[in-house]
Copies of this chain bind each other. A is one copy, B any other.
């Protein structure tokens, strides 16, 4: 199967190829709510087993949500791309039952490096966290087609 030329279709195929075996994303109850070229939206509801000792959603799990949105966005072009790192800022605690939405947008691509911005908001539209992701595109590894 050849890779489709349509960028939106490529993004959807990349999502399908990634999500199928993404047990972490699945076990955390994340849903890939939207996908497109250079962008994605992922949702997660804060469960009891996501709370830290202060009764707030563990920062690492808020980050996991943002990182997932980043990963789907930076792989949306169909070439295998990994996270080299990211910077996260926590601006508001997330609580039990909060429905969080992470939106990731591509900011730049230069050579094999990319920059992505992710904003995590709660059900009231309040910003919970910002993540700035740095991606590294692997050479010649397609996620789709063969």
Interface residues of A (CB under 8 A from B): 17-27, 48-55, 57-61, 63-68, 71, 80, 82-93, 107-108, 110-113, 115, 127, 130, 132, 134, 136
Contact = CB atoms under 8 A, between A and B. Distances in A.
- Chain A residues touching B, majority SS: mixed
Contact of A53 (B17, B51, B58): B17
A18 B112 CA distance: 25
Q: How many copies does the complex hold?
A: 4
B85 A134 contact: yes
23 contacts: A17-B53, A20-B53, A21-B55, A22-B58, A23-B49, A24-B49, A24-B61, A59-B71, A60-B60, A60-B64, A63-B63, A63-B64, A63-B67, A83-B90, A85-B87, A87-B87, A87-B88, A87-B132, A89-B115, A91-B107, A107-B127, A112-B112, A115-B130
A22 B129 CA distance: 20
Given A24-B49, A84-B90, A110-B91, A65 B60 contact: yes
A136 B92 CA distance: 13
Nearest to A57: B24
B127 A108 contact: yes
A15 to B, nearest CB: 9
A98 B57 CA distance: 25
A25 B130 contact: no
A84 B134 contact: yes
Contacts of A19: 53
